[in-house]
Chain A
Amino acid sequence: AQSVTQLDSQVPVFEEAPVELRCNYSSSVSVYLFWYVQYPNQGLQLLLKYLSGSTLVKGINGFEAEFNKSQTSFHLRKPSVHISDTAEYFCAVSDMDSSYKLIFGSGTRLLVRP
């Protein structure tokens, strides 16, 4: 993977509203895709991953993501957010070109308001 783009640096939403966090990547080969979440003053935790198979991937805390090869995207969605979902979310990609090292996007801060 050459790069990962998270277009939105911050996404404010109201509690119980749906949310989509966007992630696009550039790669000419098969990719592995990950979403991580970082709560304040903590490390990163894995939300979900796509390695192969079904393009719709379900993760923890009600999140899901869809791999779209033609659009080189891996957007993260949740149908109804909670205050506790307030955190920073990172998309990451690895492929053969990067020697399977993870390349991270710049992150999207999800701010859930009551």
Chain B
Amino acid sequence: NAGVTQTPKFRVLKTGQSMTLLCAQDMNHEYMYWYRQDPGMGLRLIHYSVGEGTTAKGEVPDGYNVSRLKKQNFLLGLESAAPSQTSVYFCASGTGSNQPQHFGDGTRLSIL
């Protein structure tokens, strides 16, 4: 009963390095989302996808790219990491626009 799985769980990067965060869901959901969580700011939407092969920008997309080549996977990329991207990243999936989202356990990313 995996639900939404995020890898890795922790990562430390140096400024300028690149990396990809992977999100996988086994619930056959059409919708997938990437959020970042910062203290006192709740969750802010980075990018989202309403189906395989589609992506769209959220509230804070700058510095990130995403891809949804397979329905069950949603990748978040940082091309050139900056200290301002130090955060906890959450992936979520869901069945529709007015339905609850199911969240992964998060990836803690520190950029030095």
Contact = CB atoms under 8 A, between A and B. Distances in A.
B100 A43 contact: no
Contacts of A99: 97
B79 interface: no
Interface string A85-107: 00000100010000111101111
B90 A34 contact: no
Contacts of B58: 101
Interface of B: 4, 33, 40-45, 48, 58, 90, 92, 97-98, 100-106
Interface of A: 4, 9, 32, 34, 36, 41-46, 49, 51, 90, 94, 99-102, 104-107
B105 A42 contact: yes
B41 A45 contact: no
Contacts of B102: 46
A50 B74 CA distance: 28
Contact of A102 (B4, B101, B106): B101
A105 B48 contact: no
